[in-house]
Structure formats: structure tokens, C-alpha cells
Structure 1
Amino acid sequence: MTRPHDTVRLWLVPDRPEPTAADLFAVLDPAERLRAEAYRSAEDRRRFVVAHAAVRHILARQLGVPPAELRWQRGPHGKPELTGHHTGTEVNLSHSGDLAMVAVSITRPVGVDVQRVLPRLDAVAMAERYFGPEEAEFVRAAPDPVSRADCFARLWARKEALVKAHGGRLTQGLRIPLHESDTGVGGSWSRDYRVSDVPAPPGYRAAVALSGTEPFRVTLRPWRRPAPTTT
């Protein structure tokens, strides 16, 4: 039976075309600002700022602290984790196209992934390159290019969410079969995680994963950009 507190909270963060306000940039830490400024494209820079500021605002509300006070450290394979005075909450971020998704768990390590469905993608070739034979056949069997791209995006989102919950490298999870199960099979580390598809806007696929095999609940809501503070 699912425990009430085993709930993953998800937020959809749409990227809107208005310029990024200075107040969103202001909550980022120096390392995040440098990463944002390194983007040559203003569009990519805006997406980065909006997504990472959203993470800070969401966690700040959960923890009752100012968003700029949050500090991060990276695990062995680059997964950010809270450090310093404000820890104990697990968070993960994914973005693709015009959409980002933030996952928060107070009980178990979490990973989330959102993937844009790309109908022009050679989904069969990509599946044969990265997935195992059964899943490559699963993608190939879809009736048309759009369906094949959708199958590929669904599987990729599940695998990436799993690996992000684990904190490992993506190559560790691409050949783990997940199209018929919500946990990995065989003697793999993936058996200690549970994966779930989650709703996403048309043209996207998304999934979330938690450590442990116990069921969990998922809530999903849109992130609403906070009003700029005035002085």
C-alpha cells in the first residue's frame, strides 16, 4: 500500500517567449549565471534561466527559505543535490523543446525526464543503436513514423528518469528493458527502482523514477512564475 508521504510532486514549466526578467536571473547562484551567460542563443539562455529559477522557487516554497539561499553539489556523474543548510529534499530537473519538468520527493531519490516527440527522427535506427533487441523491435513494430517516434520518446524518458534517480551515467540504463515493466529486469541495479509514465502535453513524453520498489503517488501542476518583487 502506498504511504501518504511517498508522493512525487511534479511541476510543468513552459518556456514562454517573453524576455527573462532580471528577478529570475537574480536567484541563480554564480555558477548557474556563468552557465546561462555561456549560451550563444538568447532563446537557449532564457530557457536555462527559467528552468533553473523555477527549481529554486519551487524548493524555496517547499522549504520556507529564499530561493537564492539554496546551494548545490554535484554527484560523481553530475546529478545536482542540495547541500549546506537546506538539505533532505530530493529534486530533479529535465527540459526538452519548450518544456521543463521539475520533480520533488521528500523521501526517496528521484529522477524525471521529459522528451519531445520528433516525427522526423529515424526512431528505428536510434532504437537499434541504443536499446536492446526486444525494444528495438517494439519501436519498429509501430505502424507509422509518428507512432515510432512516440514509442522511442516514451522509452527514452523512462530510461533517463531511471538513471537520473540512480545518479549514474545514461549509458548504464539505455539497454535495460522497460517497455513492459515499471522496474528493471535481471540482476541489474535497476530492480531497486520504480518507474512511472506521467502525463505530458501533446508532442511530449515524460516519466519519473524513484529509488525503492514501493509504489508512489504523483501529483502534477503547472508552475506559475512569481510576480517580480517591487521595492
Structure 2
Amino acid sequence: MTVDAVQVWLADALVPDTALPAMFTLLDDDERRRHAAIVHSIDRRRFVVAHAVTRRIVGAALDAPAHELRWAHNANGKPSLTGAYTGVEVNLSHSGDLVMVAVSGRRPVGVDLQRVMPTLDCAAMARRFYPPAEAHLVTGDGGHERFAALWARKESLVKAAGARLTRGLATPVAGPAPVVVEHDGPFRIEDLDAPDGFRAAVALAGDAPFTVTQHVCEAA
């Protein structure tokens, strides 16, 4: 049996100002409209870098011009390639100044990168959104790290499923990785290596094993 492979890239969104105009030219009309609606300049900058990096990675995977890629979105906002260039499943996450992109050859994929936030009342958040057993896991020392790790798993699941986050937060995902969970069908979730202060996970549709190769790329 052929084991599916997932490629995951990590990039730093802190690029020189001189790199931004060329990155902006890669965006399509929909991305430019979304960019224009963002209030804060730092968030607009991160948006440009995240979407330009995604386009370059996917363009290289498909041997396609990055600026010609087109995306369609389902009712919950999950993007998928459409138009002349398709053939891979893609997902993007960004947190702070970091961007993470996952590419799967055929299975729907979700990736999530979460910053560990020591000032967050994670116990209260977990009681509100997580199943009781998982809420208990985030109490005490190390609770903020466990909260972020569980959230990354849940959000990667939701993004792979193209579903709504509120329902995914209630889905149990704790346990040694990889975990297989049901969310209108099986999904397999793996933890990813992430920089200090972050946690990350990737999920694929189906319960079959997959391999993950992680890369660091230059955004500019």
C-alpha cells in the first residue's frame, strides 16, 4: 500500500518592505479585496506574505505560475484549487509572524499553527469549548502548552473537514499522536514540530497513515 505524503512548509512573514510589492502582484482579485478590508497594517502585511508564500509553494508543486492559481471556497470558507491548475490539496495557517502551509497529493488536508499564550485563561476557555476530560488536561503546570497543542489538533481537523470550528472544538482529540477521530468520517491527526512558543498539527481525511516532511522556506 502506498502511504500518502504531506509536505509542510514554515516561513517567517517578517520580510523586507522591498519584497512586498512583488508578493502583492501574485494575489488575485478576491485576495486583494480581502486584503483591503483588513484594518491593521501589520495584519495586511502578514496576509500578503502568507498568501504569496502559499501561491509560490503550490505553483512549484504543480509547475504552474503562482499568480494564475485560483481558489474556490465552501460555505464555511475552506479554500480549494479550481480552474486550470488543480491536483493537490492545500491548507494555510498563520500565527503571529509565522506562516505554515501544508500540501497533500490527494487527501483533504488541514494544518494549524498556534501560539502559546501564557496570559490566556486557558482553563476557562477549555471548560467552555473542550470536552470535560480535555478541559481537565489543561489545568496546572504546562496547561497553556497543552491547550495550544489541543487547539492546533482541533483546528487542523476542522480545516481538513471544511467544517465549523465550534463543533470541532467539542471533538475529543487528546492522546498520543497520531490520533484518529470521527468528524463526519474518519480523520487522522499528527503533531508537527514548531518553533518555541508555538504548537502545530496537521490532519488528513481518512484513517490511513501518512508521512510528513517539514521544510523551512524563505518568504521573500
Q: TM-score, normalised to structure 2's length?
A: 0.94
Q: In the aligned structure 2, how far is the partner of 1:86 from the partner of 1:173?
A: 30
Size of the aligned set, in residue pairs, is: 217
Secondary structure of 1:177's counterpart equals coil
Q: In the aligned structure 1, how far is the partner of 2:49 from the partner of 2:219?
A: 9
Q: Which residue of 2 aligns with 1:183?
A: 180
Q: In the aligned structure 1, how far is the partner of 2:132 from the partner of 2:38?
A: 38
CA contact (8 A) 2:13 2:219 kept: no
> Comparing 112-121 with 34-43, which one deviates more in the overlay?
34-43
CA contact (8 A) 1:183 1:190 kept: no
Q: Which residue of 2 aligns with 1:173?
A: 168
- The Cα shift of 1:209 comes to 0.1
Q: Which residue of 1 aligns with 2:199?
A: 205
- The Cα shift of 1:21 comes to 2.1
Q: Which amino acid in 2 is paired with 1:200? A: A
Q: In the aligned structure 1, how far is the partner of 2:149 from the partner of 2:13?
A: 21
Q: Which runs of 5+ in 1 are unaligned?
A: 227-231
- The Cα shift of 1:17 comes to 5.2
CA contact (8 A) 1:158 1:197 kept: yes
Q: In the aligned structure 2, how far is the partner of 1:21 from the partner of 1:138?
A: 42
* Identical-residue share of aligned pairs (%): 50
More strand by share: 2
Q: In the aligned structure 2, how far is the partner of 1:76 from the partner of 1:151?
A: 30
Q: Which amino acid in 1 is paired with 2:152? A: A
Q: In the aligned structure 1, how far is the partner of 2:203 from the partner of 2:117?
A: 23
Q: What does 1:34-113 correspond to in 2, within 5 Å?
A: 34-113=33-112
CA contact (8 A) 1:183 1:191 kept: no
Segments of 4+ moved more than 6 angstroms: none
Q: In the aligned structure 1, how far is the partner of 2:184 from the partner of 2:34?
A: 32
Secondary structure of 1:153's counterpart equals helix
- The change in CA–CA distance for 1:10 and 1:101 in structure 2 (over 3 A counts) is same
Q: Which amino acid in 2 is paired with 1:153? A: A
- The Cα shift of 1:216 comes to 0.5
Q: TM-score, normalised to structure 1's length?
A: 0.90
Q: In the aligned structure 2, how far is the partner of 1:23 from the partner of 1:99?
A: 19
Secondary structure of 2:169's counterpart equals coil
Q: In the aligned structure 2, how far is the partner of 1:13 from the partner of 1:52?
A: 11
Deviations 1:27-77 (A, max 9, x none): 100111121122232211110000000010001111111101101100121
The structure whose Rg is larger is: 1
Q: Which runs of 5+ in 2 are unaligned?
A: none
